[in-house]
Structure 1
Amino acid sequence: MAAATPLEQPVPVVPAGALPPIDVTKPGSISQPTPRTGGIFDSVLDTYRSFQDRRAALGLSNPGTVDNIAAEVQRNVFLTNQTFSGLRAELNKSFSIAPLFQISHAFSAGSQMLSPYTFLGLYGTNNTLCQAQLDSDLSLSGRFNQRITDRLSFKSQIQIQPSSMAGPGAAQVSLEQDYTGADFSASIKSINPSILEGGLTGMFIGSYLQAVTPRLALGLEGVLQKPGGGMGPEAALSYAGKYKGDDWIASLQLLTQGGLQGSYWRRLTDKVETGVDVNLQFAGGNPMMGGPKREGVATLGAKYEFSRSIFRAQVDSQGKIGCLLEKVVAPPVRMTFAGEMDHAKNAAKLGLAVSIEASGEELMEQQDKVLPPTPPF
């Protein structure tokens, strides 16, 4: 009988599990695994892989950033950056939903903090945000945010204040890079960086927040300020912690210079949220005045959501009481009432605002069908 040709030779059977599984969707997956060298590099690589496996088994999620560690209290419940005084009217016009493009005209009277007229323009996509605001006193502010990858984003902000009778003009530039990992967040921010004075000057802030368990996150934030004029640099370091329960969130920040800030947020019902914030400052005082000086402020707030309105109220230990009511009169019309009483200063202020959304009927129907983009705010 004739001998078998090479094409007729039996193919050897490889036992299951002898080779690693091949993922044909990834280029280079058919190549052999990295050979072991038998040196210290293998020990380091094995330790790293073991750490990554244990880390993935915990099921950790992204804890947010250090800047927003108390956002549930400071932004959702309290009246921070929402209260105002005097009369205010806003006219908003949306031209498209995807991409998001809208302009706004705001008029105010009887307020020392708001300009008589403000124009605002906004353009946003899932990866880009452009926003500019111009006031009647020629002060300009703008933002440009860009999502470079799914995890890395770049944020910039500029503010220009012209000189007036109230004081000289000023300008500020802020540059920030954020990286959002699977279970951590890292950020580097610089304010007014410059090399024109013979060296690097400005304020630089770096923060890192890491999820340790599914509920606990720990992090730190460092601030380095290098003023010009031959002055020496100043540094500060703070530690942060955040714990998330089933229906409550607690956070704590400790400053190495002697400051402590803690917050507690709790959802009582589907419509009611409450928050408590305590800020303690231990400032070094003048020995001639009797030693160090201690100051502290405690604030309690609540938020009620009704079918077509939102009510916020807060009170602090310094005798200040404030409230804010947002009411949707009709789908395009929203009214806002703000009030504040400061018993320590014997002062009070009231505010009333009307906002009108002047979008067309076709765009209003499109809002119910098209999902608007989520720009990198």
Structure 2
Amino acid sequence: MTMSLLLRSLIIFTATAVFANGAEPPTPAAGSAASTQPTTKTTMQIESQAFGTTPAGDEVTKFTLTNTKGHSISVMNWGATLMEVNVPDRDGKLANVNLCFDSLKPYLSGHPYFGSSVGRFCNRIEHGKFAIDGVDYQVTLNAGKHHLHGGKKGFTYKTWDSATYQTDDAVGVKFNLTSPDGEEGYPGTVDATVDYQWNDDNELTIDFAATTDAATHINMTNHSYWNLGGAGSGSAMDHVAVIEADEILDVDEDLIPTGTINSVDGTVFDFRTSRSFGERVDTLAATKGYDHCYVVRGTTGQMRRAATVSDPKTGRVLEIETTQPGMQLYTANHLPGTDKSAGAGMHEAFCLETQHYPNTPNRPAFPTTLLKPGSKMRETTVHRFSVE
């Protein structure tokens, strides 16, 4: 059931749960690692509040989805952005584990893609060039001589339409955007959706979908920066990870895939058995850390495990499952530690961006990102939070 929301209104959806007390669920400050005790609720809730106005005059709304345990996520229609993810540690204390800003202004331009929905094409396209059916296209060059994350005004910097909904066991918000033909140099008018769903198992499901009226390339991802100790709690390099990948894309000095796929065996990229991000991060001097795309083990298009990350200090665990063929590990190598990054500095978070491979339009051997009229792109990623 889809329902419209008035700003600052509270909509409560009925869900089965055991009543503990009548207190409202805690809401940690955005971007803060401060913790509070969760509160069990009898219903799942969606709350909406005004979050600011864009220079174009668009009203931005922040939606907070809270499950019956009092654990919550928040999203907004600017950039179809994931903001807070408030989950407990092993002692039951809540903290936001996703880097975000507490006001709209830092999101309006030049931010590190905190929680952004990235498109039309996430990651890099070499020289911003590709051909479709013999026609050459030039998209925006916004990363030196290359194209990155959809260009200067990609999906990250757009106001999306929004609608809330309820299922039998979850609540969610679906965002929709129409990208006109020629935007950032891409052919075709694209209708894109990003669907965030939150349930009582602390599972965050992100579903991307798109259709087009002309052949074009689509590659969408969510660009969240995680710190399971809590946003703002310091380095995330002590987090321990397992990445379900035997191979990684070979890249040149500009991090553009060459088309070769290398084994991770015996390399700094091998996370097939658990090890901390920081164990070997300093050996990657050229990139200041990890910024590489893994080939997720298993069949592309089928949901399977991509990674498991845990924080030894708090006991929080993040498991990621996806239908996507690849996953970019980025260890926040360029966060400046200023207001531009909500105070977070280098290596104080990590990204695991499920996606198709970078530069796929120029690498025909890679799983295709070409979307044609009459077809639909759909990819799903699940983030599951627990404790150990």
Q: Give TM class, smaller chain.
A: under 0.3
Q: TM-score, normalised by structure 2?
A: 0.25
Greater radius of gyration (CA): 1
Higher strand fraction (1 or 2):
1
Q: TM-score, normalised by structure 1?
A: 0.26
